[in-house]
Amino acid sequence: MKKGTILILILAALVLWGISLQRGFVTKDETVKKAWNNVEADYQRRADLIPNLVNVVKGYAKHESETLQEVVNARTKATQVTVDPDNLTPEKLAEYQKAQGEVSAALGKLIAITEAYPDLKANEEFLKLQDQLEGTENRIKKSRTDFNDAVQDYNTSVRKFPGSIVANIFGFNVKDGFKADEGASKVPTVEF
């Protein structure tokens, strides 16, 4: 074979290899986007349950209006924070996570005040909503874990040599995943 033919075959093999890597990055990037959309869908499910839960509690706990308003405000703020899956910057992800954390904290207070209302704790609608909320919280945790797994797989591909060269050429950058909520490492104080 001529040297020119060998060179063309080598170049063709390199181009095909680069195309294959690029296609793999696109697939993994789309997996990250899908996982992010699932996270948002689960948070939206929680946001949709909150008004019903607040209305049920409102009927029993009229003097707990401050806590109820806190839940409504946190929900409103959280639904206004949006993150584009194509632009998952650490700052936007932290803002989103903070807003969702405020909803979780407000819901925790709401559930805690229901302990003072035995009739409410026995209300069938409240129990059903509480079960749905608990299931939704589990779905959120699972979605966040799946998202972090997709980000890890994507980042590993983007950072490994020689794929990192192709990733750089086509603009595939490392993405951030969810981190523990602020203060999560602090052990809660239990007093009797």
Structure tokens at 30: 């789309």
Mean pLDDT on 108-123: 79
User: Using CA atoms, how far apart are residues 78 and 53, in angstroms rounded to an integer?
Assistant: 17
Task: Tell me if 27 is assigned to some domain.
Answer: yes
Categorize the per-residue pLDDT at 119 as very low, low, confident or very high, splitting at 50, 70 and 90.
Answer: confident
Task: Tell me if 39 is assigned to some domain.
Answer: yes
Mean pLDDT on 84-107: 87
With residue 47 as reference, give the H or E element that holds it: helix 3-60
User: Of 142, 132, 138, nearest to 50 (Cα)?
Assistant: 132
Give the pLDDT score at 188.
54
Give the pLDDT score at 30.
95
Task: Tell me if 179 is assigned to some domain.
Answer: no
Task: Tell me if 70 is assigned to some domain.
Answer: yes
Structure tokens at 47: 């946001």
pLDDT tens sequence across 100-113: 999 998 888 888 87
Categorize the per-residue pLDDT at 187 as very low, low, confident or very high, splitting at 50, 70 and 90.
Answer: low
Give the pLDDT score at 189.
57
Q: How many domains does the chain have?
A: 1
Mean pLDDT on 160-179: 91
User: Of 171, 132, 175, 170, nearest to 153 (Cα)?
Assistant: 175
Give the residue numbers spanning the domain of 12.
Answer: 3-170
Task: Tell me if 182 is assigned to some domain.
Answer: no
More confident of the two residues 65 and 151: 151
Domain at 137, CATH number: 1.20.1440.20
> What backbone phi and psi angles, to 5 degrees, belong to 117?
-125, 90
Task: Tell me if 188 is assigned to some domain.
Answer: no
Task: Tell me if 190 is assigned to some domain.
Answer: no
Give the pLDDT score at 192.
42
Give the pLDDT score at 153.
96
User: Of 170, 162, 133, nearest to 22 (Cα)?
Assistant: 170
Q: Is the pLDDT of residue 143 over 90?
A: yes
Angle between helices 124-159 and 163-170 (to 10 degrees): 110
User: Of 65, 12, 32, 17, nearest to 165 (Cα)?
Assistant: 17
Query: In three state form, how does the secondary structure of 116-133 look?
Result: HCHHHHHCHHHHHHHHHH
Structure tokens at 52: 């019903």
Mean pLDDT on 160-174: 92
Give the pLDDT score at 184.
56
Report, in angstroms and rounded to the nearest whole number, the Rg of the chain calculated over CA atoms. Answer: 24
Task: Tell me if 175 is assigned to some domain.
Answer: no
Q: Please give the mean pLDDT across all residues of the chain.
A: 86
Give the pLDDT score at 182.
65
Categorize the per-residue pLDDT at 2 as very low, low, confident or very high, splitting at 50, 70 and 90.
Answer: confident
More confident of the two residues 143 and 84: 143
Give the pLDDT score at 140.
94
User: Using CA atoms, how far apart are residues 175 and 141, in angstroms rounded to an integer?
Assistant: 19
pLDDT tens sequence across 51-66: 888 888 877 776 677 8
Helix (H, G, I), strand (E, B) or coil at 186: coil
